[in-house]
Chains A and B, each alone.
Chain A
Amino acid sequence: MQLELSPADAEFRGRMRDVFTTKVSPEIRDTVLEGRHLTRDQIVEAQRTLNAEGLAVPHWPVEWGGQDWTELQRHLWHEEMQRAGVPIPLAFNASMIGPVIAHFGTQEQKERFLPATANLDIWWSQGFSEPDAGSDLASLRTTAVRDGDDWVVNGQKTWTTLGQHGDWIFTLVRTDPEVKKQAGISMLLIDMTTPGVEVRPIELIDGGHEVNEVWFTDVRVPGDLLVGELNGGWTIAKFLLGNERVGVAPVGATKRALAAVKANAGPLMDDPLVRARVAELENELLALELTALRVVAHSSDGAPHPASSVLKLRGTELQQAVSELALDLAGPASLAARAGDDSPQEGWARRSAPTYLNLRKASIYGGSNEIQRQIISRTILGL
């Protein structure tokens, strides 16, 4: 056991810090650092800047733009990015569908989609959840029926994050209703401009529009947009959701959020109770960061370590707890949530209530925290 980074890893970290703080636009970084909303164009610009530096999809196969790094280097890349206020590459592209196509796709699919996905020329949406298929994803009902060379898709997806920006959507669809529910699912890639695709906004409790319903009415999808085996979608979904969980503990971003809370707190930092809450959160974040490093050190070949559920569970709890502290410090100023920029209340304080409310999502999506407890108790503890 040893604590220091090797000289090579320390040098690597310095290089990451350097790229992130010099190449990515300061306006974008400030927006992230101040907790304001990024526009679609800013997200695209940031990812293209990273892609030009070879840093958008380092965990993909080298032939498609990946960087043969160690797990520790990937971790450092991820943490430094968050620390510098660089938006992490769009998860739907970089962490979800990209690795899936690289692993399960045909050569044509790889050539057609991977470069565009890495560069965010295509904005992907994730069409998995349905009104009656949330945690129990396998009970999804959207159907795809073969008609000549095409698939004809009917049904409804929901909770589609940033679907309003989406160019394409990767979906799980039922291709065999007769078999056990997990066995009759396939993955289809669908161009969202195809006739019959309709995206309807859902308003969330913070007043924002980040999720949508996506309706499919007799949508014709060319047969070559099936990913992997027919009825092999469940295997792909498990592969994808496993990747989703890794790096899902946003330690760097939460540390930065807590540092901002301290900086914004002003004289409230003299209150012993506030100091204690901050100190306690800092300690919990340290333990989480160390656990992330331990998990990184033990995962082999990019396969998720079982304890990554610990990171998801605790990481989202801490993310939420920091937003709760910011809200408590803002106090009455938090009421001015929708007051606009000429409000006399400070921006961080006005944003505290929507941020607090918005982050309640973190323990629900990506496999809710109850599902993580299930994974820990079943697969790690054998209960």
Chain B
Amino acid sequence: MDFTYDDEQQALREAVRGLLATTYADHEARRRTVADDPGFDRALWGRLAEMGVLGLPFSEADGGVGAGPVEIGIVCQELGRVLAPEPYLSAVVHAGGLVAAVGTAEQKADLLGRLSAGEIVLAAADTSPGGRWASRADGVRASVSAGSWTLDGVADPVMGGASADHLVVTAALPDGGTGVFVVDASAAAVTGYVAADLTRAASVRFEASAATPLGEPGRDLSPSIATISDLTRIMGANQALGVMQSQVRATTDYLKSRKQFGVTLNTFQALTFRAADMYVSLELAHSTVDWATMTIAGGDREVVADAADRVGLQVSRAARHIGQEAIQLHGGIGMTAEYSVGVGTAHLTVLEQWLGNAGHHLTRLAARVTDHEMVDAI
């Protein structure tokens, strides 16, 4: 039982923080980057690859580094801290995670090797228009004829989809169940758009698009899909934690420096108390994020699924509280795209609705609430 980072983990954090600071030293740099396609910095992406960060979750046999969940969580926190628009969560954690979970040895070595090296970008297409966080595909259908697979239907939103070379698609199988396929981006109609936090998503239409099944063709892979979604949720919570830490710090600094009525804002207790409550939300979320991240190492899917719901609920609530208060306590400047705090709230909003909002997680937890007498941390 230990909540502290070891020296290597600290070193990783500092290295990633240092690298991100070369590109996103201030919010203005992020604004410039997201203003143009592809919406992230390809040079930085390459340097993340060189540093081994893109291969962190994958085994060495697959061309990765074989690091643990705590290390991946650290990277996500650092990306969140500077609101980095790089598609790490969508390309590496989510799409790469799907390939690692269900691909054959050759598929993994090929796709994950190139992903880790920064040669290709992947995106996971697992949401249908109007769909809500299901591990069962209903927007895209797979068909097979003479051993060749094709996909039809629409996936939207596909996070990071506009700049992906290959799409990792969940699709309904002809005989029931959900399979996972790789589709070359050129085989689908990809329409990119800008999400609420100015990162990029896409609407993808498949029309008899040629697809390669990942793993054994025709097998129902929904349990693995659900697990990878859970892991992505937990890593998304790490990213949200980084954002919230920055917001609490920025708000505290602002209260100490902004003057109104001839005094700095921290003279007003009504405001300092609200900042204290933000800190309480932050610390409780932080504890839950660390815990959920640590449950992954145990390898039990059900434990991880439960942790994903718990951290999803806790972090969604904290994100609303901290994100909204950060804007409010900044006043007008908090509303501007020029300033990081409000954009951070936009990013928290996107993470939440992409990975599952509080209501979704609470519904799932409420369904299981009589299965246990009490919930124990350890």
Distance from A357 Cβ to chain B, minimum over Cβ atoms (Å): 25
Question: Does B290 reach chain A (CB closer than 8 Å)?
Answer: yes
Which residues of chain B are within 8 angstroms of A279 by Cβ–Cβ distance?
A: 362, 365-366, 368-369
Which residues of chain A are within 8 angstroms of B255 by Cβ–Cβ distance?
A: 383
Which residues of chain B are within 8 angstroms of A294 by Cβ–Cβ distance?
A: 3, 283, 286-287, 290
B287→A290 contact, CB < 8 A = yes
Interface residues of A in 333-383 (CB under 8 A from B): 370, 372-374, 376-378, 380-383
Q: How many residues of A contact B (CB 8 A)?
A: 50
* Interface 9-mer from A116-124, A153-161, A190-198, A255-263: A255-263
* Interface 9-mer from B165-173, B197-205, B225-233, B274-282: B274-282
Question: Does A303 reach chain B (CB closer than 8 Å)?
Answer: no
* Interface 9-mer from B35-43, B148-156, B215-223, B370-378: B370-378
Q: How far is B362's CA from A259's CA once the two chains are assembled, in angstroms? A: 18
Which residues of chain A are within 8 angstroms of B272 by Cβ–Cβ distance?
A: 373-374, 377-378, 381, 383
Which residues of chain B are within 8 angstroms of A291 by Cβ–Cβ distance?
A: 283-284, 286-287
Question: Does A68 reach chain B (CB closer than 8 Å)?
Answer: no
Q: How many residues of B contact A (CB 8 A)?
A: 50
Which residues of chain B are within 8 angstroms of A6 by Cβ–Cβ distance?
A: 1
Question: Does B145 reach chain A (CB closer than 8 Å)?
Answer: no
Q: Select which of B70, B295, B373 is within 8 A of A259 by beta carbon.
A: B373
* Interface 9-mer from A86-94, A237-245, A306-314: A306-314
Question: Does A38 reach chain B (CB closer than 8 Å)?
Answer: no
A377→B275 contact, CB < 8 A = yes
Question: Does B293 reach chain A (CB closer than 8 Å)?
Answer: yes
Q: Select which of B277, B291, B310 is within 8 A of A3 by beta carbon.
A: B291
A381→B362 contact, CB < 8 A = no
Question: Does B111 reach chain A (CB closer than 8 Å)?
Answer: no
B280→A313 contact, CB < 8 A = yes
B3→A293 contact, CB < 8 A = yes
Q: How far is B287's CA from A293's CA once the two chains are assembled, in angstroms? A: 9
A310→B279 contact, CB < 8 A = yes
Q: How far is B269's CA from A313's CA once the two chains are assembled, in angstroms? A: 17
Distance from A230 Cβ to chain B, minimum over Cβ atoms (Å): 35
Which residues of chain B are within 8 angstroms of A376 by Cβ–Cβ distance?
A: 276, 279-280
Q: How far is B74's CA from A160's CA once the two chains are assembled, in angstroms? A: 49
Question: Does A224 reach chain B (CB closer than 8 Å)?
Answer: no
Which residues of chain A are within 8 angstroms of B2 by Cβ–Cβ distance?
A: 1-2, 297
Question: Does B298 reach chain A (CB closer than 8 Å)?
Answer: yes
- Please name 30 pairs of A and B residues whose Cβ atoms are closer than 8 Å in the assembled complex, sorted by A: A1-B2, A2-B1, A2-B2, A3-B295, A3-B298, A3-B378, A5-B378, A6-B1, A259-B374, A275-B370, A276-B362, A276-B363, A278-B366, A279-B362, A279-B369, A283-B313, A283-B375, A290-B288, A290-B291, A293-B1, A293-B377, A298-B4, A307-B283, A314-B280, A373-B272, A373-B273, A377-B272, A381-B248, A382-B256, A383-B266
- Beyond contacts A286-B310, A291-B283: 17 other A-B pairs, Cβ-Cβ < 8 A, are A1-B9, A1-B293, A262-B369, A262-B373, A275-B369, A280-B313, A280-B362, A282-B365, A290-B290, A298-B4, A307-B283, A310-B284, A373-B276, A373-B277, A381-B275, A383-B256, A383-B272
| Residue ranges of A at the interface with B (Cβ–Cβ < 8 Å) | 1-6, 9, 72, 255-256, 258-259, 262-263, 269, 272, 275-276, 278-280, 282-291, 293-294, 297-298, 307, 310, 313-314, 370, 372-374, 376-378, 380-383
